[in-house]
Amino acid sequence: MYPILLQTSYFTINTFWVIFVIAVIISTIVLIKTAVHHGLKIQFLSDNLGILILWTFIGARLFGLIENYDSYFYQITKETFLSIFYIWDKGLNLWGALLGFALCLYFLCKKQDQDFWKWLDVFVPAITLGIGIGSLGAFFEGINYGNETSLPWGVNFESPAIKYTVPIHPTQIYAFIYCTALALGLIFSTNLKRIKELYFPGMIGLGGIALYNFLRFFEEFFRGDDTFMIMDIRISQIFAFILTISAGIILIIRYNKHAKKHSKNN
């Protein structure tokens, strides 16, 4: 673990936030290049980037508070109320962030006459890549860690915040590998002739959502960090399962509509 990248008597630079910023920058570059490739208006992105980021953080914080309500609301005081706004404590939830972002994007597209599905095709690969890079920050921070393992690549974390003193699964590295591979696959698949022939708006985005959550579902079997449980099942695993099925169903529905429309035109 290397949670502190640089520390002086005046300031501290946290490794997690440095990698988070790197992830945002790389994801933004990929997003812009992919949007241009899809012929989308970059101005829509630049005009609404602020509100998209705002609602992403609101969703992430809201779900983070719900997930860790016992840590934030153990008593009602001025201090605990103000702690709600201390987003730098890393009390953010990925699912809340994605939900807040998706809802904001949908309503913005509807209001400004943009194709939501085309923008989804652009955002999903970029966000997936960002999640992968951000997982490296989680590794150095010692969060989102795995359960014990006897595999040769098991890692030891010397931290009182981690409940294992034996080698554990480096689930953060797993996430980095499959997210990066998936993101690159989604980005470069648009250049394949077969994909171009089958393409319809939403295909890349929905496919990416389904595949990411399918992989995240299996990652949860190796996770050892504490989280909210429902009938001894991790809440993140439940979300991943629901999103995998939902995205898959919507993808099939949109494919059938596209196939019918294509057959009529021919």
Residue % of the chain over a pLDDT of 90: 46
Q: Which two tokens stand for residue 160?
A: 């009182």
Q: Are strands 229-230 and 12-14 parallel, antiparallel or unpaired?
A: unpaired
Q: What band does 167 get if pLDDT is binned at 50, 70 and 90? A: very high
Find the DSSP H helices in the chain.
Answer: 15-37, 42-67, 69-72, 78-82, 94-111, 116-141, 171-189, 193-198, 203-219, 235-265
Mean pLDDT score across all residues of the chain: 85
Residue 247: what pLDDT? 94
Can you tell me the distance from the alpha carbon of 46 to that of 42, in angstroms, rounded to the nearest whole number? 6
Among the residue ranges 10-19, 103-112, 143-152, the one predicted with the least confidence is: 10-19
Residue 263: what pLDDT? 66
Which one has a higher pLDDT value, 256 or 179? 179
Q: Which two tokens stand for residue 111?
A: 């209001």
Residue 121: what pLDDT? 94
What pTM did the predictor assign? 0.86
Can you tell me the distance from the alpha carbon of 217 to that of 240, in angstroms, rounded to the nearest whole number? 5
Q: What is the pLDDT of residues 184-215, one digit of tens each?
A: 999 988 777 777 778 888 999 999 999 999 99
Beta bridge partners of 4: 14
Can you tell me the distance from the alpha carbon of 41 to that of 44, in angstroms, rounded to the nearest whole number? 6
Judge contact between 168 and 157, C-beta under 8 A.
yes
Q: What is the pLDDT of residues 220-241, one digit of tens each?
A: 999 998 877 888 889 889 989 9
Q: Does 45 have pLDDT greater than 90?
A: no
Which one has a higher pLDDT value, 41 or 69? 41
Can you tell me the distance from the alpha carbon of 145 to that of 23, in angstroms, rounded to the nearest whole number? 19
Q: Does 178 have pLDDT greater than 90?
A: yes
Q: What is the pLDDT of residues 233-263, one digit of tens each?
A: 898 899 899 999 999 999 999 988 877 776 6
Q: Where are the chain's structural domains?
A: 18-39+119-266, 41-113
Q: What is the pLDDT of residues 81-133, one digit of tens each?
A: 555 665 555 567 787 888 899 999 999 999 999 999 999 999 999 999 999 99
Residue 259: what pLDDT? 78
